[in-house]
Chains A and B, each alone.
Chain A
Amino acid sequence: MTMEIIFVTGKGGVGKSAVAAALAMQKAQSGRKTLLVELGRESFYQNALNLSAVSYHGVTWPGFPQLEGRFTLALWSGPECLKEYALYLLKIESLYRLFFENPVTRTLIQVAPALPELSIMGKATSGPRRVGPALNYDTIVIDAFATGHFMALLRAPLGMAEAVRFGPMGEQSRSINKVLSNPELCKYVVVAFPEELPVVEGLELAQDIQQTVGIKPTLVMNRWQEISASVLQEHSDEEYLQRFQRHLQRLEQRQNELLALVKENFLPVMLPQIFEVDFSKVVTALTASLSEVKL
């Protein structure tokens, strides 16, 4: 099975995490051993799914015994990725301790430009590069940062390769960059929903990604509401129903305008608005919608 790494991004609040989870779930259901990764210090999924913890090395996504452990969820922070990589490179535990328990290194990690970002990208691409501890997954779905932070993440290896031309760090950066620009290995998904700013920012982001790695992202239009003609045209004497109908008419118009804008450059994947409060139900419903789509 060929390995694939899928980065999911978009403007904040567009439902990235739900889409990333649904995508990972779909991959796992299709028989691929899948890792869903969230980035940062704190886990979003932990709260959303009421899990006791989400760890660096991963926990099984709850409630799907039929997937037989093919769906794992992990939380990666920059410092942890760096630590793992350094341990792999330094090999000797005592040297590693000396290295990491040293105040110089601690401060460096906190502030050194793009080092945590670089480590995250290093870990994400460690499979195809055969560097670092093995990541035995067919698919890695990364619920990545929103717009600006994602571009900083994506550009970190490039920036580092330019800043440090010689030595191992420059070399590593170049090899990471090579994987990130390989369409056979990496896919990018930009999530938006039918409102002006998420769509406009999403389109800009997609363009930035394409310019940086040369791969055209897939655009997902999330929370799309299919509104039937009868709902839009039906006559009602109730004032509140009339108001609600006007709300839907505006929504319909806005949706169509924004979809037309997206379609100028993309063939978007459409995902419906899910009228559920429970996060795992939202993910299950989105997974069902995704099953007809090839990503």
Chain B
Amino acid sequence: MKALLAAAALAFCATPALAQDASADVTFTFQVGQPTGHVMVALFDSQAAYDGSGDPVRVARVDASAAAVQAVFEHLPAGDYAMKAFHDVDDDGRMATNPFGMPTEPFAFSNNAVGNMGPAGWNRAHFSVSGDTAQMINLAQ
């Protein structure tokens, strides 16, 4: 409980500093199972866009053989975001599926959220940005 109170106090104190610099960097570091191809990343700033009725605010294509497989989205306004990624292992530019349409290349969402027989929904995948934010995303199937 003490630790929680201390954290709450810290968060409170930090608020004025954030107000002075409203933009933040969001970094995703991907753990990949094999160092081939690229990780395709799309970042969304609304549920509507995330659900398919709009475009991502940022996209990235990251070399999966790099020492650090990272997508950095700089100077984002504060707000709620969610991210979708897949590892294009064979580098053909599309997400491979098995003959019955199930993805065979690793995919992930922000918060490492997992859906319920479909992509992870905004409610599971969204996160708030109010300062620099980093997430480690597991794409190692």
The answer to whether A and B assemble together is no
